[in-house]
Amino acid sequence: MAEKIDKSKTEKKPRVQKPPDPNAPKCLNPACARASKTRGLCITCYGVARKAVKDGLTSWDVLIAKGRATAKGGRNGTLRSKAREWLMGE
Ligand SMILES: [Zn+2]
């Protein structure tokens, strides 16, 4: 007995462009809508911040204290840095 396959149910949903994951952490720069990649910043903002640190204009500690960056680390780093932000918040 061949099972009748309802194509409307088995058909895959058309692949639309994946909308940004609402749970994905965003870049800390409020003017930036990219997903954060490193230290809470997107690649572009991280590049700017890294250069500023390298040039001695600021330091990661200062940026972290200001909430402009997060401590280096993997996925757990985000959570830890958020706890740190919370602890050091006003
Ligand atoms: Zn950014």
32-88 pLDDT per residue, tens? 999 998 899 999 999 999 999 999 999 999 999 999 998 886 555 566 667 777 888
Using the mean position of ligand 1's atoms as its centre, give its distance from the Cα of residue 79 in Å.
19
3-state percent breakdown (helix, strand, coil) of the chain, nearest 5: 40, 5, 55
Using the mean position of ligand 1's atoms as its centre, give its distance from the Cα of residue 39 in Å.
11
Using the mean position of ligand 1's atoms as its centre, give its distance from the Cα of residue 87 in Å.
24
Our separate counts of H helices and E strands in the chain read: 4, 0
Using the mean position of ligand 1's atoms as its centre, give its distance from the Cα of residue 35 in Å.
7
* The pTM of the whole model exceeds 0.75: no
